[in-house]
Amino acid sequence: MLEGFAQRLVDAQIMTKRAEQLVFQDYGAGTGIGEHVDAPVFGPEVCSISLLSRCVMSFRHTVRKEVFRQILEPRSVIALTSDARAIWSHEIDGRSVTDRRLSITFRTLARHNHPPFKKKYSVIG
Ligand SMILES: O=C(O)CCC(=O)C(=O)O
């Protein structure tokens, strides 16, 4: 199953390498995820598919503390690359999750030599 999904993200040019890790998360209404930058052990592309409830993902620049918010609609994919992956933290405010929400997050491992990315983020809905 992982390989099929991971290949589809590559075919759609959302990820350049096939993900090696898939995390499936089942959030109840009102449940978010704390502010974090994904660990450096993971590669430069992190993609997440949102299902069921929409939510608001907030990004905070780790140096400038500037905040940016993005609604993640059901059936959308968010791809964190470049600064959005490495310099901006992200979190989901549980108050924005009004119903059950599922997410599937795809990551590679950092040992791969990826090309640099110019886009800060993209949401494919
Ligand atoms: O639920 C999501 O869409 C994002 C999950 C996330 O940020 C993580 O697992 O690190």
Q: How far apart are the first and last CA of the chain?
A: 22
Domain holding 21, by residue range, is 2-124
> What's the confidence (pLDDT) of residue 114?
55
To test the pocket of ligand 1, the residue of 90, 93, 102 to mutate (highest count of ligand atoms within 8 Å of its CB) is 90
Q: In angstroms, rounded to a whole number, what is the distance separating the alpha carbons of residues 50 and 77? A: 6
Q: What is the pLDDT along the chain (125 residues), one digit of tens a residue?
A: 778 989 999 999 999 999 999 999 999 999 999 999 999 999 999 999 999 999 999 999 999 999 999 999 999 999 999 999 999 999 999 999 999 999 999 999 997 555 544 455 556 65
CATH number at residue 56: 2.60.120.1520
pTM check: above 0.75: yes
> What's the confidence (pLDDT) of residue 66?
97
Our count of domains for the chain comes to: 1
Q: Which residue's C-alpha comes closest to atom 10 of ligand 1?
A: 38
Q: Give which of 19, 50, 41, 31 is closest to 123, Cα–Cα.
A: 50
